[in-house]
């Protein structure tokens, strides 16, 4: 007898094979049978006529490490069909952790990943020390399957204390980090992640711990990860945001080769105005293959809108040299922004070659005004800076700053990405089909009031079914199921096949998609975040239990913590 029988749907099984009319039977949390005309008795039968039946989606780059404690459902990823998330990315994890370092870690996560400090303080108990204890706190209490890499910053802080900031590690300290990494992976860590990016600073404004590591330290930790079954690597370097330097490619190749494990990085930005970026970034993968290693670029298949302001930390703070102004207290910051010479200097720096990929945010004319807070700016929400500047007879950057200053820097700004042209989408299609790249990079769980990348799965499928239709639906589903599942060596996930775990999505091809992101104040401490409802997600099952019905969460928590070795196998290079 089956627990659930899904009748009459079109199965897109995640392998890339042609879609086929078939029934799917679930039993004991697994897919029991996939064939047309199943006549076995079932406790419950679901009519999937007109719907697609797919594997649950796998998000390879999230930061749900903290959010799962106050939001075990992993919203809004869950309603967008995501059944498995990978956390512990970019070198940032919450374990191992000494009690005296909890405040430092909270403030670091608030700074680098945009998690409100109040939510971290009030929504997490911080009652663990080892990585295994951290995983145990989550196991049995989450609505999705969740696996976590072991972060370099946490390892460094655990071994070196405050000395993790400001200096290289001694050989003894590196050896101690290696031992701690072994322990963390033996308890279920999925591998190792690190950051060497200059965009990552802690709550004190100092480079985070991993940025002080010598290359040999990084490689030693990668080699340690490679001694365990079912592990992988993730890394961020400066060049991830624009174009790799030769020494960065050399290091990434060394890391993967030392571990004999795949390494993924985030995120490959595709823009037809800079086609050489794609060529350069994927060269790292080519050079890795020549060294019997594997490097995979994550790239997003949608353009994620962002909320920005001159008050709170966001990508605007990353323009070269701008920190001289943006790090000032708000009143003093506003005073500097009034100065014509300062404005001219900031505009020039934002548009300089040194700004790299962030230069795309300097198209001030095409910014759209979001929420405003002063009588002077009343009625401007939804208008472009171009139109406002034209009416006022000022330059776009001056018009934008005038609005911002009138709102005491609180104005919400929506930069409109310049890479939505047909040529950029054609280039994206080429990247999606390249084995050196993989779809992913939502950052879900991070930058909560600035962006909402979690709905990329439904937005992508809706676009491929009813919009641009750049790739067949079979290929699109494979890109967000089997491909990321195999990158991490997830056992029995990512495909609708007998014996696999019953992570299943039933979706309406005529309506699957996402609502626009909205700002809600539902975090611990009353902080805000962006979220988005899903459309066209009829049912989602995690390990055979229904977690979403009609695009709404059911509230149950059947997810499991994905542990290396037990739940993963070693992925091929």
d(CA 553, CA 263): 33
Instruction: Give percent of the chain above pLDDT 70.
Output: 100
- Taking residue 203's Cβ as centre, other Cβ atoms within 10 Å add up to 17
User: Which 8-state DSSP code applies to residue 209?
Assistant: G
Burial of 195 (C-beta count, 10 Å sphere; 0-12/13-18/19+)? buried
How many CB atoms lie under 10 A from the CB of residue 235?
28
Domains of the chain: 57-303+419-489 (3.20.20.140), 315-414 (no CATH)
The pLDDT value recorded for residue 416 is: 86
Note the pLDDT of residue 540.
99
Of 156, 183, 163, nearest to 91 by C-alpha is 156
List helix spans (H) across 73-214: 102-113, 117-123, 131-138, 152-160, 171-186
Q: Residue 418 — very low, low, confident or very high, per pLDDT cuts 50/70/90?
A: confident
Q: What is the pLDDT of residues 303-312, one digit of tens each?
A: 998 899 999 8
pLDDT of 342: 97
pLDDT at 332 over 90: yes
Cis status of the peptide bond prior to 174, with omega within 30 of 0: no
Strand segments (E) across 350-453: 368-369, 413-414, 437-439
**pLDDT of res. 304:** 93
- CA torsion sign for 336, 337, 340, 341 is positive
- Interatomic CA distance for residues 341 and 177, integer angstroms: 48
Q: Say yes or no to pLDDT of 116 above 90.
A: yes
Q: Measure the CA–CA gap between 24 and 149, rounded to whole angstroms.
A: 33
Residue 356 has pLDDT above 90, yes or no: no
- Cα dihedral sign, 330-336-339-343: negative
Cβ atoms of 75 and 553 within 8 Å: the answer is yes
Tokens of 446: 């991070």
Both structure tokens of 220: 């030693």
CA distance 4 to 503: 13
Q: To which H or E segment does residue 82 belong? A: strand 82-87
3-state secondary structure of 153: helix
Tokens standing for 34?
């996939």
- Check whether 240 has a pLDDT greater than 90: yes
Given a contact cutoff of 8 angstroms between Cβ atoms, the answer to whether 564 and 540 are in contact is: no
pLDDT digits (tens, 9 = 90+) for 142-195: 999 999 999 999 999 999 999 999 999 999 999 999 999 999 999 999 999 999
Q: What is the pLDDT of residue 46?
A: 98
- pLDDT for residue 358: 87
The residue whose two tokens read 């899903």 is: 534
């Amino acid at each position: 007898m089956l627990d659930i029988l899904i009748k009459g749907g079109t199965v897109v099984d995640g392998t890339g094979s042609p879609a086929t009319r078939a029934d799917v039977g679930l039993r004991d949390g697994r897919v029991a049978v996939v064939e047309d005309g199943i006549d076995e008795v079932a406790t419950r039968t679901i009519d999937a006529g007109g719907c697609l039946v797919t594997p649950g989606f796998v998000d390879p780059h999230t930061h749900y490490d903290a959010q799962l404690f106050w939001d075990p459902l992993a919203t809004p990823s869950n309603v967008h069909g995501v059944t498995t998330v990978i956390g512990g990315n970019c070198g940032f994890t919450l374990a191992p952790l000494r009690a005296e370092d909890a405040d430092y870690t909270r403030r670091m996560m608030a700074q680098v990943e945009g998690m409100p400090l109040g939510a971290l303080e009030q929504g997490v108990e911080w009652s663990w020390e080892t990585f295994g204890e951290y995983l145990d706190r989550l196991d049995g209490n989450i609505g999705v399957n969740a696996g976590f890499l072991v972060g370099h910053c946490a390892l460094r802080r655990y071994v070196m204390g405050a000395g993790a900031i400001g200096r290289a590690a001694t050989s003894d300290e590196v050896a101690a980090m290696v031992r701690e990494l072994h322990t963390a992976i033996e308890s279920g860590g999925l591998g190792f992640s690190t950051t060497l990016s200059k965009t990552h600073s802690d709550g004190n404004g100092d480079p985070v711990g991993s940025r002080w590591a010598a290359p040999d330290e990084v490689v030693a930790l990668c080699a340690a990860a490679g001694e365990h079954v079912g592990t992988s690597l993730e890394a961020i370097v400066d060049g991830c945001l624009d174009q790799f330097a030769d020494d960065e490619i050399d290091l990434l190749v060394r890391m993967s080769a030392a571990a004999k494990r795949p390494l993924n990085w985030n995120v490959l930005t595709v823009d037809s105005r800079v086609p050489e970026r794609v060529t350069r970034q994927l060269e790292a993968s080519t050079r890795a293959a020549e060294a019997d290693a594997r490097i995979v670029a994550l790239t997003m298949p949608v353009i994620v809108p962002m909320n920005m302001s001159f008050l709170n930390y966001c990508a605007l703070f990353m323009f070269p040299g701008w920190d001289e102004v943006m790090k000032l207290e708000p009143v003093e910051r506003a005073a500097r922004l009034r100065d014509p010479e300062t404005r001219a200097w900031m505009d020039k720096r934002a548009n300089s070659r040194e700004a790299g990929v962030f230069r795309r945010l300097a198209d001030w004319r095409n910014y759209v005004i979001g929420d405003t807070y002063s009588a002077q700016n009343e009625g401007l929400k939804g208008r472009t800076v171009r139109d406002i500047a034209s009416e006022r007879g000022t330059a776009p950057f001056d018009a934008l700053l005038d609005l911002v200053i009138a709102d005491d820097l609180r104005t919400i700004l929506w930069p409109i990405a310049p890479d939505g042209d047909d040529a950029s989408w054609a280039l994206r299609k080429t990247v999606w089909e390249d084995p050196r790249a993989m779809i992913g990079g939502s950052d879900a769980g991070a930058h909560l009031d600035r962006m909402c990348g979690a709905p990329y799965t439904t937005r992508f499928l809706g676009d491929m079914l009813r919009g641009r239709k750049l790739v067949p639906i079979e290929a699109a589903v494979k890109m967000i199921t089997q491909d990321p599942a195999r990158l991490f060596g997830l056992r029995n996930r990512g495909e609708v096949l007998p014996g696999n775990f019953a992570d299943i999505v039933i979706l309406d091809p005529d309506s699957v998609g996402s609502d626009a992101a909205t700002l809600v104040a539902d975090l611990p401490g009353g902080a805000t975040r962006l979220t988005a409802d899903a459309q066209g997600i009829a049912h989602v099952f995690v390990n055979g239990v229904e977690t979403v019905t009609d695009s709404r969460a059911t509230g149950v928590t059947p997810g499991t913590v994905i542990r290396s070795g037990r739940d993963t196998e070693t992925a091929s290079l």
